[in-house]
Chain A
Amino acid sequence: MAQMTMIQAITDALRTELKNDENVLVFGEDVGQNGGVFRATEGLQAEFGEDRVFDTPLAESGIGGLAIGLATQGFRPVPEIQFFGFVYEVMDSISGQMARMRYRSGNTMNAPITIRSPFGGGVHTPEMHADSLEGLMAQQPGLKVVIPSNPYDAKGLLIASIRDNDPVIFLEHMKLYRSFRDEVPEEAYEVELGKAKVTREGNDITFIAYGAMVQASVKAAEELEKEGISAEVIDLRTVSPLDTETIVESVKKTGRAVVVQEAQRQAGVAAHIVAEIQERAILHLEAPVLRVAAPDTVYAFTQAEEVWLPNHNDIVEKAKEVINY
């Protein structure tokens, strides 16, 4: 097994699927010769040729539309949106079109597209280059929303996404791209979509997180352990469809939960999870389920980023609030 960063694992997944299935196509802005502005597609054009890995003109709605046409003809497009903040340019293709192709065609057509895109804060990129917009995507039936928290999952989830027969929004947290390495198998493997993972077991409280907030939650759990509090951490891996079963099972065991998201608080994924827990496990709860989220402002400028972004201290504090309720 090789040690890989998350970005290397992503490149490896793309290479694996380009090799494995000739219908897989990789395209987007600067993904060809340049290998992507984050180098996620480095070397792929040289290896697979310009027909399968290519640069598009600078036009996101065109990229989305093109993917839909290709997908209906048996291809498996894996387009890149250079920064997820630019997804607004392609919202109709995503939410208005590819998500509904299967439904609208009476289940006769589908759009097996995997849109990859970097997102997330903590790397000193300002608004539009750091926003967490997964909530917008998760609200759209027909889309799957996948967010890996580590290199191993990134490869397995990306392969599973490409092989999936429905459109997947695959969001890559920029802070995780090169922050640590993991053992990543060289062969192809899938990490099942729609299945959360219990990353750390515990009995007193459940933390539910995804993306970069998984690490923060684990760190918070380690700190709480020193005080004799045992926290379980669930890494959602897929934000939509949500693995409610794993969440509810854990909360029934611990009786307490904190849901953590990097996105702004209002109308987010965390709010939805809290509602699911209340609806399914209310009688098991020892305290209200609380959230850790960013404030409802535009994404913070660099000088305020550290304060703005949720971190492990915020999670520890929230956990104590729940436990001392």
Chain B
Amino acid sequence: MLKHDELGLSNDNVLEMYRLMVLARRIDERMWLLNRAGKIPFVVSCQGQEAQQVAAAFALDRSKDYTAPYYRDVGVVLALGMTAKELMLQAFAKAEDPNSAGRQMPGHFGSQKLRILSGSSPVTTQVPHAVGIGLACKMNQDSSIAYVTLGEGSTNQGDFHEGANFAAVHKLPVIIMVENNQYAISVPLNRQVACEKISDRAIGYGMPGVTVDGNNPLVVYQAVKEAADRARSGNGPSLIETISYRLTPHSSDDNERTYRSSEEVEQAKEKDGLIVFKQYLIENNVLTEDLDAEIEKQVKEEIDQATDYAETAPYPSPESLYHGVYYE
């Protein structure tokens, strides 16, 4: 198995990656509790995808690259510097939410400061946007790149084709990462696409495409790092498909029992990237159970504080609706 030091990652690097994966998972779990308690209106989960998300973000230059993450990418935005408090402010739709000032649903990330493009509800719209950012980077002769993610079902939208094609024609510094979690709400992979792998689509655009195990953050890191190097050196875009499984229902409004069995979900949980990585870190003497307990404790405190803060923070005023429609 690939080792982190072979990738140039230190023990501290992988521990920080692990901490962020745990943080993402526990934030998500807390959001479900808050939703079931009637405190927040909606949850759309990252559970099962944290490992690939954090690993991918670590393979970018987080000080200068641009990202257009999709709604499940809690791991990506945490790795880029968004905080638990900011995510909770978003979940409670409070005025101070840096993503959209409480105007959009949870999971619709955006941060001018962190170079995260503001995302919206219609899936896949972010792909051509990221390609536009890639073109801007090229025109500005800036060594930044654009990283965009989406679900596998969303690759069926025309926007995916149009964005990928343009990026390849102009050899733009773009990485398109498809987080394949096997379902688009209720529709399983084999009813969405006929190709064996989503990455097979890359050849049609004239860009490299790879499929990697999304539950193994080290191979995801390696694939994204290679793609980032390629993009930065002027050799154009890449398509990466990460395979994992959506461990929760599509959202807090979904009833997954109508289309998949609990056995299937239980089986997938055994391959959960978070657990796989924890085992790897323990086996390689980077993590101990004691240290893990300490991480969990700190994460819990951080989330408790974030929740308390967000719960009591003020809502945006109805008058604020009139601002930001046009230039003022």
Give A contacts to B, CB under 8 Å: 29-30, 32-35, 37, 55, 57-62, 83, 85-86, 88-89, 124, 126-129, 295-298, 300-304, 307-308
Contact = CB atoms under 8 A, between A and B. Distances in A.
Given A297-B322, A300-B321, A127 B191 contact: no
Of all A-B residue pairs in the complex, the 10 with the closest CB atoms, nearest first, are: A34-B186, A304-B318, A57-B156, A128-B121, A58-B153, A59-B156, A303-B315, A307-B318, A301-B103, A30-B186
Contact of B259 (A34, A62, A308): A34
13 contacts: A29-B184, A32-B187, A34-B259, A55-B191, A57-B187, A61-B157, A85-B121, A128-B122, A295-B322, A297-B322, A297-B325, A303-B93, A304-B320
A303 B314 CA distance: 11
Given A58-B156, A86-B122, A127 B187 contact: no
Contact of B191 (A57, A59, A298): A57
Given A37-B185, A85-B122, A124-B41, A301 B192 contact: no
B253 interface: yes
B122 A37 contact: no
Given A34-B185, A57-B191, A58-B187, A303 B102 contact: yes
Interface residues of B, number: 34
Interface in B246-260: 253-254, 258-259
Interface in B310-328: 315-318, 320-322, 325
Given A33-B259, A58-B154, A302 B93 contact: yes
A46 to B, nearest CB: 11
B258 A34 contact: yes
B11 interface: no
B186 A57 contact: no
A52 to B, nearest CB: 16
Given A33-B259, A57-B192, A59-B157, A301 B102 contact: yes
A29 B253 contact: no
B136 interface: no
B296 to A, nearest CB: 33
Contacts of A295: 321-322
Contacts of B320: 304
Contacts of A129: 105, 121
B7 interface: no
**Chain A contact residues, majority secondary structure:** loop
Contacts of A61: 157-158
Contacts of A126: 103-105, 121
Contact of A300 (B158, B184, B185, B318): B318
A89 B186 contact: no
A124 B157 CA distance: 27
Contacts of A29: 184-185, 187
B157 A127 contact: no
Contacts of A89: 122, 157-158
Contact of B258 (A35, A60, A85, A88): A35
Interface string B152-195: 01101110000000000000000000000000111100011100
B287 interface: no
Given A55-B191, A57-B187, A61-B158, A88 B122 contact: yes
A4 B315 CA distance: 37
B268 interface: no
Contact of A298 (B156, B258, B317, B325): B325
